[in-house]
């Protein structure tokens, strides 16, 4: 599950790059930058752009773990972080994002939100956030909006908003939609 927000002052960061192959690089933000870039603490190598995009989504939804991974890589060494990431990927393999899921929970006020991912072991649904509306009617109004906007990319933008900014921004957008307030479809922010 995703956190409410991400710490912009965090020490460690991950970036996807295609400069010298297709890699996801874990590094210290305060590391000296040379002509070759920063000295990575961990590198996850992909075979092509398609694989890089799939791996980046896997790493992005686990952004709340990046600081723990950075400390592990820095203090326990490359073998520890490699083994740790392999174990995580064994339990939840990297897959290709197929779409977003918005599912009414059995609790009448709760909406489950996440990704549908196709992996080598089959289709998987990853619930990234559970939103509790204040009334069942708000959830119903959101689901009506969802039905009207399912094909225009807006639901996927909602999930991306949570992956990028955290669930607090997603919660604000969900509540705005449920209350019928105008939301800018490009940013899914409450319109001014």
Q: What digits encode the pLDDT tens for the residues 180-190?
A: 987 765 655 54
Q: What is the pLDDT of residue 190?
A: 45
Q: What is the pLDDT of residue 186?
A: 61
C-alpha torsion sign, points 98, 121, 52, 126:
positive
Residue 192 has pLDDT above 60, yes or no: no
Contact 166, 6 (CB under 8 A): yes
Task: Give 192 or 8, the one with higher predicted confidence.
Answer: 8
Name, of 32-41, 123-132, 176-185, the range with top average pLDDT.
Answer: 123-132
Query: What is the arithmetic mean of pLDDT over 61-76?
Result: 96
Q: What is the pLDDT of residue 185?
A: 56
Confidence of residue 39 (pLDDT cuts 50, 70, 90): confident
How many C-beta atoms surround the C-beta of residue 33 within 10 A? 9
Residue 168 has pLDDT above 50, yes or no: yes
CA-closest candidate to residue 42, choices 20, 25, 23, 62: 25
Q: What is the pLDDT of residue 181?
A: 87
% pLDDT > 70, the chain: 94
Q: In the chain, what are the domain boundaries?
A: 12-91, 96-190
% pLDDT > 90, the chain: 78
Task: Give 35 or 191, the one with higher predicted confidence.
Answer: 35
CA-closest candidate to residue 55, choices 63, 41, 45, 69: 45
Query: What is the arithmetic mean of pLDDT over 38-67?
Result: 95
Q: What is the pLDDT of residue 191?
A: 42
- Reading phi first (left if > 0) and then psi (alpha if -120 to 50, else beta), residue 153 is in left
């Amino acid at each position: 599950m995703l956190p409410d927000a991400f710490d912009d002052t965090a020490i460690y960061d991950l970036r996807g790059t295609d400069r010298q192959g297709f890699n996801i690089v874990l590094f210290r933000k305060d590391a000296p930058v040379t002509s070759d870039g920063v000295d990575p603490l961990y590198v996850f190598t992909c075979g092509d752009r398609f694989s890089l995009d799939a791996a980046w989504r896997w790493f992005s939804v686990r952004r709340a773990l990046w600081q723990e991974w950075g400390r592990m890589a820095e203090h326990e060494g490359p073998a520890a972080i490699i083994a740790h990431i392999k174990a995580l990927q064994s339990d939840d393999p990297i897959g290709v994002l197929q779409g977003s899921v918005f599912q009414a929970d059995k609790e009448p006020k709760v909406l489950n939100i996440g990704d549908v991912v196709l992996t080598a072991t089959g289709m998987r649904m990853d619930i990234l956030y559970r939103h509790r509306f204040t009334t069942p009617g708000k959830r119903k109004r959101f689901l009506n909006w969802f039905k009207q906007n399912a094909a225009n990319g807006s639901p996927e933008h909602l999930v991306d908003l949570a992956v990028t900014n955290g669930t607090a921004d997603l919660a604000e957008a969900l509540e705005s939609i449920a209350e019928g307030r105008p939301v800018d479809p490009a940013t899914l922010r409450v319109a001014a």
